[in-house]
Amino acid sequence: MRRDGRPGGPNPGRPGPARAWSQAPEPQQAWSQAPAGPPPGGYAPTQKPQPYAEPRRIPPAAPPPRAPQPPRPPSAPAEPPKQRRPRKRGGWLRRVALVLIVLMVASVGGLLLLDTKLNRVDVLADYPGRIADTPGTNWLLVGSDSREGLTADQDRELAAGGDIEGKRTDTIIVVHVPKSGATTMVSIPRDSYVNIPGMGRGKINAAFNNGGPQLLVQTVEEATGLRMDHYAEIGFGGFAGIVDALGGVDMCVPYPIDDPLAGINLQEGCQKLTGPEALGFVRTRATALADLDRMNNQRAFMSALLKKATSPTTLINPLRLWPMMSKTANSLQVDDGDHLWNLAGLAWGLRGKMVTTTVPVGGFEVVDGWGDVLLWDREKATEFFDALANDRQVPQTLLTGAP
């Protein structure tokens, strides 16, 4: 009983919990007896629940069958991200080395091609009684007056003297390249009076004129006691062509030379000689000592020519090196066993310290049928060539440029 006299508990309008659960009507009964209008307190009207019916589910249509797919190849494992490699030092050196290797291969290929263009002849053939091999390397260099292959314009430019049949030798040089020490270049005067096999005594250039390079080689070997290992011969046109291919050769002319027969008029002093001028310089005899001066000029010019041919400005310049090599290959006549690399070895042997001289001369004499001839000093000449035959330096007392 509350203080106000009304019965009930704390909330008389609502039953207690236990009573409310025990006396609560069934849900359907409660819904049926619910008043139609709103409750006194203004609450929302009670809704009559409807039984739950799950909506009808329509299964989705089956997808059309898929065409069989080819098996996929196994995917490659993902590559790790590329990392920038640190730049190694010396990369430019490898590139330079690669360029040099390419150039060397190209040079070797070009050298082999040019080697096939050399004019070869069986010059150093054996003959009965030929001397045995001697130490060191011996070359016989011959300059002939052959006009073969020259046009009329070239003949006039070189002052070759017209259409002269055959060929004679204007230059005979023996080069001895020792195993060590200085190379020796020896001029043999063309009027040297020596024994010519099969002909008897006569001027040495007659051996070349009558028996060609084979007889000349045999005559030189018997006169000197040196066995020749290599042979090289060049004519007028080839000599001038090599000089022009090098762009001319610097030469110090020791005295003025005016020789219409050789086609030159040179002033004293250092100057660059063209091909025709160089040819006239090594041919002329319009000097005080004639043939002896000519031999001195030939040796001096040969040294200048080889210096130019083996200089760095030539070797690293393909526009100069290739024409020079091509002209050399087309102009030279060599022995069957000779190659361009043998000629390169000769050029290198003549590039450094070199002794230039002539055969010890004993005097001149007039011989019937031969005219003026040059006699060797037999005693000195024997000592001279014995030194070379034993690969020794020639004694200084035997080195001469004039009698």
Q: Who contacts 180 (Cβ-Cβ below 8 Å, separation ≥6)?
A: none
Is residue 371 within 8 A of residue 202, CB to CB? The reply is: no
Q: Round to whole Å and give the CA distance between 390 and 221.
A: 15
The distance from CA 377 to its chain's CA centroid, rounded to whole angstroms, is: 47
Q: Which amino acid is at 302?
A: M
In a domain, 89, yes or no: no
Is 136 a domain residue? yes
Domain count, the chain: 1
Task: Choose among 263, 350, 342, 267: nearest CA to 304.
Answer: 350
When computed from its CA atoms, the radius of gyration of the chain, rounded to whole angstroms, is 55
Q: Which helix (H) or strand (E) holds 216?
A: helix 204-224
Q: How far apart are CA 167 and CA 160, in angstroms?
A: 12
Hey, is 172 helix, strand or coil? strand
Is position 35 within any domain? Answer: no
Give me 281's structure tokens.
């310089």
Q: Distance of alpha carbon 110 from its chain centroid, rounded?
A: 8
19 found inside a domain: no
Q: Which 3 state secondary structure label does DSSP give 87? A: coil
Residue 371: strand pairing partners: 367
Cβ atoms of 182 and 353 within 8 Å: the answer is yes
User: For 100, phi and psi rounded to 5 degrees?
Assistant: -65, -40
Residue 148 forms part of a structural domain: yes
Find the domain containing 299 and state its range. Answer: 105-395
Assess contact for 384 and 398: CB atoms under 8 A. Answer: yes
CB-neighbour burial class of residue 394 (10 A; exposed 0-12, middle 13-18, buried 19+): buried
Report how far residue 363's alpha carbon sits from residue 41's, in angstroms, rounded to the nearest whole number: 166
pTM above 0.75, yes or no: no
CB-based contacts of 386, cutoff 8 Å, min separation 6? 225
Interatomic CA distance for residues 232 and 51, integer angstroms: 128
- What is the dihedral angle through the alpha carbons of 396, 397, 398, 403, rounded to the nearest 10 degrees? 130
Placement of tokens 């024409």 in the chain? 323
DSSP 198: T
Query: Given the DSSP bridges, would you call strands 264-266 and 257-259 parallel, antiparallel or unpaired?
Result: antiparallel
Give me the pLDDT at residue 315, please: 80
The runs of H, that is alpha helices, within 266-371 are 275-283, 291-309, 312-315, 318-331, 340-349
- How far is 169 from 145, CA to CA, in rounded Å? 6
Which residues does 2 contact at the CB level (< 8 Å), separation at least 6? 8, 12
Residue 76: what pLDDT?
57
Tokens of 29: 């009964």
pLDDT for 123 equals 93
In a domain, 162, yes or no: yes
Residue labelled with tokens 């060599």: 334
Tell whether 292 is covered by a domain: yes
- 184 in any annotated domain: yes
> Looking at the DSSP assignment, which residues form a beta bridge with residue 171?
143
The CATH number of the domain holding residue 384 is 3.40.630.190
CA distance 388 to 136: 8
Strands of the sheet with 137-144, listed across from one edge: 119-121, 332-335, 230-234, 137-144, 169-177, 183-187, 354-358
Divide the 403 residues of the chain into consecutive groups of 10 and give the mean pLDDT of each group.
50 46 45 50 59 63 68 64 60 66 60 83 92 94 74 69 66 93 92 94 93 95 96 88 92 92 91 93 87 88 87 84 85 90 85 86 91 93 96 91 45
Pairing of strands 230-234, 332-335: antiparallel
